[in-house]
Amino acid sequence: MSQTTTEAPDAVGAAVRPRSFALAVLALATGGFAIGTTEFVTMGVLPQLADGVDVSIPVAGRVISAYALGVVVGAPVVAYFGARLPRQKLLVGLMAAYAAFNALSALAPNYPTLVVARFFDGLPHGGYFGVASLVAASMVAPERRGRAIALVLMGLPVANVVGVPAATWLGQTLGWRASYWVVAALAGLTIAMVLAFVPDCPGNPEATGRRELLALRKPQVWFAIVAGAIGFGGMFALFSYVAPLATRVADLPDSAVPVFLLTLGVGMVFGNWVAGRAMDWSLRISLLGAPVALAVSLLVAWLLAPYGYASLPALFAVTTFGSVLALGLMMRLIDAAEHAETIGAALSHGSLNIGNALGAWLGGVTIAAGFGYRSPLAIGVLLSLAGFAVLAVGFALDRRPAAHSEAVTS
């Protein structure tokens, strides 16, 4: 196990030095890779999954929503009970649960069991990313925390470049259950790497469940939560139905779906790289610009969707700006929550997965209503612009003297 030294505390906890920053970040990012693979591969094998449990594609889309709701429920629960726990051990426990519930998903005999399994599988998601981000931020100087957190979160977009296309191909070739077995194995690998390379840093000794929950009394926390819950739904309105978008709107073969997923994943990798630098430059400007750019990208994708591969640049842009929005919301929540940083970091993923569930659900509603498989993109435009409006109001109120006084005296 890596030895650490403790330095002066920063905004997100005590600074620690691992033996190897690169290996520690790689271990944390591997967990993100596992989580990203299982979160997004469901969308890639959605038609096969729907056939396998004998439901329609819109109904199967509720499996995605069930996972997302699990993230929403799990994030505050992990923060409430885990803020004081040693962070390395907490990460191991969360990833062990993740492995178990992916195995349960693979073994699910019917649709109701699968929905339940996906809900429980989502419970550790927000807590893992929140705690892993705090560990990463504690290993660098405060002015580089955006880039450190982005490196940890890089596991998720890399999953979309490598893990999701590979698991989608396996799911199409060997059956959709194989996709979840792959993730269970990745979770086991993450546990071994975290134990070997991640510093055994303590939790926050002053944290209590009550203090973590008191962060919910801060208006800026709620502005960020609502902005993520609405605005991020724009990206997932596309992501949830990318398979039928490729095969039924553009009339491409099933083999085109991994190409579309790969494009989305590369956009996320690039966007995550850009986001880390953008947030260290100006969180406010980057966070306000991202949802507007996301809305424009979704509109272009809607226009180009019938032309198949011609829509790929627009899809790349959607996930690029969506990734900037995601990291910005996490950092905004960490800052807004102040001394309750564990719940702030965890709630960011809960918020984003409300957007996941909302985008998937509204997309399914419009498809079921007969508006076609392009209609979720139009829903995404509206959701992105609504997220921008919430952020703009939040930042405007935060500039008032009263807002700053509250921040100082809270």
- Which pLDDT score is estimated for 204? 65
User: Which amino acid belongs to residue 44?
Assistant: G
pTM: 0.72
User: 3-class SS at 291?
Assistant: helix
107-114's contacts with Cβ under 8 Å and 24+ in sequence apart are 107/177, 108/53, 110/53, 111/53, 111/54, 111/55, 111/59, 111/60, 114/49, 114/53, 114/63
- Which pLDDT score is estimated for 404? 39
Separation of alpha carbons 252 and 249, rounded Å: 8
Separation of alpha carbons 174 and 38, rounded Å: 16
Rg of the Cα atoms in the chain: 20
Supply the DSSP string of 100-120, one letter for each residue: HHHHHHHH--SHHHHHHHHHH
Residue in this structure with the two tokens 């194989």, named with its chain if needed:
178
User: 3-class SS at 9?
Assistant: strand
Between vectors from CA 396 to CA 392 and to CA 397, what angle results, nearest 5°? 120
**155 Rama sector, left if φ>0, alpha if ψ -120 to 50, beta otherwise:** alpha
| Encoded tokens for 261 | 């997923």
Separation of alpha carbons 279 and 294, rounded Å: 17
Q: Domain 14-409 classified CATH 3.40.50.300?
A: no
Distance of CA 190 to the CA centre of its chain: 18
Q: Which of 81, 80, 86, 77 is nearest to 14 (CA)?
A: 86
Separation of alpha carbons 120 and 28, rounded Å: 21
Q: What is the dihedral of CA 272, 279, 348, 127, to 10 degrees?
A: 70
Residue in this structure with the two tokens 């000794």, named with its chain if needed:
205
Give the residue extent of every domain in the chain. Answer: 14-409
Separation of alpha carbons 341 and 337, rounded Å: 6
The DSSP secondary-structure symbol of 351 reads H
**Cα atoms found within 13 Å of the Cα of residue 373, Cβ hemisphere only:** 18
Which helix (H) or strand (E) covers residue 6, if one does?
strand 6-10
- Which pLDDT score is estimated for 402? 41
Whether 45 contacts 168, CB under 8 Å: yes
- Which pLDDT score is estimated for 331? 83
Q: Which of 322, 340, 122, 352 is nearest to 224 (CA)?
A: 352
Residue in this structure with the two tokens 């019938």, named with its chain if needed:
306
- Which pLDDT score is estimated for 203? 63
119, 189, 294, 324, 404 from 387: Cα distances, Å: 25, 37, 10, 14, 23
Residue 10 β-bridge partners: 13
34, 49, 164, 219 from 172: Cα distances, Å: 19, 9, 12, 46
Q: What is the pLDDT along the chain (410 residues), one digit of tens a residue?
A: 333 333 333 444 445 676 778 888 899 999 989 988 887 788 778 888 888 888 888 788 788 878 878 887 887 788 777 777 888 889 999 999 999 999 999 999 999 999 999 999 989 987 888 888 888 878 777 767 777 788 887 887 788 778 877 888 888 888 889 989 999 999 999 999 999 898 777 666 666 666 767 777 888 889 988 998 898 888 888 877 888 888 989 888 888 887 888 888 889 889 988 888 888 788 888 899 999 999 999 999 999 999 989 999 999 999 999 989 988 888 888 778 776 667 777 777 778 878 877 888 898 889 988 888 999 999 999 999 999 999 999 988 885 444 433 333 33
Whether 363 contacts 241, CB under 8 Å: yes
- Which pLDDT score is estimated for 409? 35
